Structure formats: C-alpha cells, structure tokens
Copies of this chain bind each other. A is one copy, B any other.
C-alpha cells in the first residue's frame, strides 16, 4: 500500500474536481488522472461514478453532522438546565460554526464545503438526493430546536425562514474562497471567522424578526 491508498487519493481528487467543475462536468478520467490511479479503479473501489459521489459526501458529512448534532443537543440541554428557551444564535452557531472549523482543519475540506453549498440546488436527483438524505434528519432537529427558541413565530413561517437561512448558508459556502464576482472593488474580504459571525448575525435577525 502506498502512503495514501488509491481509494483515498480518488476521494480527494473527486472532492476537489466535483467542487470546482461540478459533478457532470468532471470525468472519471480527470479524477483518476489527478489521483494517479487507473481509470478502472473508480468502478473497482466504488462501483460507479454516482457511488463515488456518495462516498465523497459520507466521508466528510457523517463526522461533521455528528459534531453538529452534539453541539445542538448541548445547547438544548444547557437551556433545559436553566429552565429557559434555547437562544436562536446558540442553535445557529451549533449548526454553522463546525463547518468553519472543519473547513480549516484540512486542505480538501475547502473544496468539500463548496460541493455541499452547490448540492442544495443541484438539478440532478442522483446528486441532490444522496446529499439531502444525509442532512435532512439533522435539519429537522434544528427546526424542532428553533421552534423552542422562537415559539412566537408560527411554524410555517419559521420553516420558510429556515429555507432562507439555508439559502444564505449554501450560497456563502459556495462562494467562499472564490474571486468576489459581484464586487471587484471589495474593500477587504472578511476572514472565515468573521464571515461566520456575520452570517449568524444576519440569519438570526431574519429568523427572529416579528411577524
């Protein structure tokens, strides 16, 4: 076995190329070439291109969602202990902040975040479904927690606002690390940590707004 085995090298290359070029525009030949592996290695190790994408998602998302789930439950138990409703910003932070920490943890993680942001609006069900299946349970947990934090907001409206939140998050995750297209005259792009704080401030204000 080499320093990093073929399977991992393929996952890394696929993660990078799927993120920068998209799923359909990335060929298995480009992936195996960058991974210094044989073309057939993808079908040997993963079965198909779609199964490779699923593996790319699962490798990162299973541990990441586990952390988010723990932080979410911790915020809920803290509130329960103090006999208060959980705070919106704490719930959002549990959901958003691990993404940043993960992003800075390893080089390939940057690409993965882009990939996730794009999966939300992916037209192909093959791509979108294998992603939503991984995040829907956690997302519903967040929704349930937010209903405790914001009991004055009707559930239907809260749900819609959570979709807005998801959109802002996803778009941010996609655009982070790319040249700012809309405003070439950016005064100074915020750091990742600042960006997370700005995002939490933005969406918590939107979620908490009186009806």
Taking Cβ atoms with an 8 Å cutoff, the residues of A that contact B are 19-22, 24-25, 117-118, 120-124, 128, 132, 136, 139-140, 143, 155-157, 159-172, 174-175, 181-183, 186-188, 190, 195, 198-199, 201-203, 205-209, 211
Can you identify 11 A-B contacts, CB atoms within 8 angstroms?
A: A19-B123, A22-B124, A117-B121, A118-B123, A121-B171, A136-B182, A164-B198, A167-B171, A202-B209, A205-B206, A205-B209
Main secondary structure of the interface of A (DSSP, over half): helix
Which residue on chain B has the smallest CB distance to residue A190? B160
Known: A121-B171, A140-B183. A161 touches B202 (CB 8 A): yes
New contact pairs (17) apart from A167-B170, A205-B205, CB-CB < 8 Å: A22-B122, A24-B25, A25-B123, A121-B174, A136-B182, A140-B182, A155-B187, A156-B188, A156-B190, A159-B183, A160-B195, A160-B198, A164-B199, A165-B168, A201-B206, A202-B207, A205-B208
Q: Which residue of B lies closest to A159 (CB)?
A: B183
Contact status A186-B159, CB under 8 Å: yes
Copies in the complex: 2
**Known contacts A22-B124, A120-B171, A171-B170: A198-B161 contact under CB 8 Å:** yes
In the assembled complex, how far is the CB of residue A43 from the closest CB belonging to chain B, in whole angstroms?
Answer: 21
Q: Are A171 and B164 in contact (CB under 8 A)?
A: yes
Q: Which of A20, A155, A167, A172: most chain B Cβ within 10 A? A: A167
Cα–Cα, bound, A25→B122 (Å): 11
Hey, which chain B residues are within 8 Å of A117, CB to CB?
A: 121
Which of B24, B118, B156, B164 contacts A202 (CB under 8 A)? B164
A20 and B164 form a contact (CB under 8 A): no
Chain B neighbourhood of A166, CB < 8 A = 171, 182
